[in-house]
Structure 1
């Protein structure tokens, strides 16, 4: 299956999930798909339907750059627990950060968008996406902090705790590491700091998982240490 076919399949699943949940737009459903995981096998999303690790075209184990969080599970996505909401403006700003000209973006989006004066690829990390990618983390510099906001679509009164898996030498901290949702608190923001002083150079991969005893909300991160 090629990449474009996978994108179309995910878009179709996103629409169906959005209709079932009555989300305001399909992007929330897409986020729900990317955060699903299974309590009985937390790493199951990186395994294929034969319960073998997903591989790339060279038959090596695939990394998050190649498979993201792994293969989707539409049934689990119907009850994701938490979602990372985004809207069209987030993706328009992505084009700004990526380097497209304001003229081209306005032509493509049919909007009068004004790009930030200091747009750069580094700002892409701040888009409220279920994954985190950091283009450059300098060893000698202070920690880089990324913010994410999650919306509770599960039980109204829910408490999630964070569990971090990071490679040796890369220090990853989540603040707060406990999220308490209630009727009056459906959304909560948290910060993730990355410090790479002791890490070897190159891309480092890891995960942040929010657990409430029922849901496992899985976020993959990719950090390029220099």
Structure 2
């Protein structure tokens, strides 16, 4: 076997092993999976993440993951009282990183029986276009908006424009799951954070449509209605007299 063939074989093996780790961390589907109850509050999540961090640190690791959804709102933005899990990704994790995360998450469950085995998972990676996974990972690492940090584990927020686009998509009827009661407020929070990060106060609708194209989401007439709802909710939330998306 030539050197190039050996490198290619190793690369395929690593990809397959990483895919196995993805399946290990993705939650198993149950009859109630599509509408889980938000029952993990700020303190519960914070303690659980501390337990994961402590486990990883004890075993000589230091892992960074990127969170999306309810954990960001509950821990970082404090715009929700609770969520049902910590949903994360990082396309640069090694096999050893995955092993530490799996074992750390299970150790946290043993320490707090309020946690289910799905509380810490990377199911979201399956909904990110494969060609965007590295890009989103690198962008989150560059922006480095920390929502949790302890020896052994750092949790960053996903890029705000990505999180916003996913919320608008679900509110518009896209995706596998139906819209939730908190989705509109989440979208408002995410676009607000996006603007704070960039020092602006409005976003062109063409920019939002560009995000949809970039993340391979479908733009339909329903999106226009959702954008109008986001504008109205943003005005009410932040007491401004202008549309945030124009």
TM-score normalised by the chain length of structure 2:
0.28
Which is greater in Rg? 2
Higher normalized strand content (fraction of residues): 1
TM-score normalised by the chain length of structure 1:
0.29
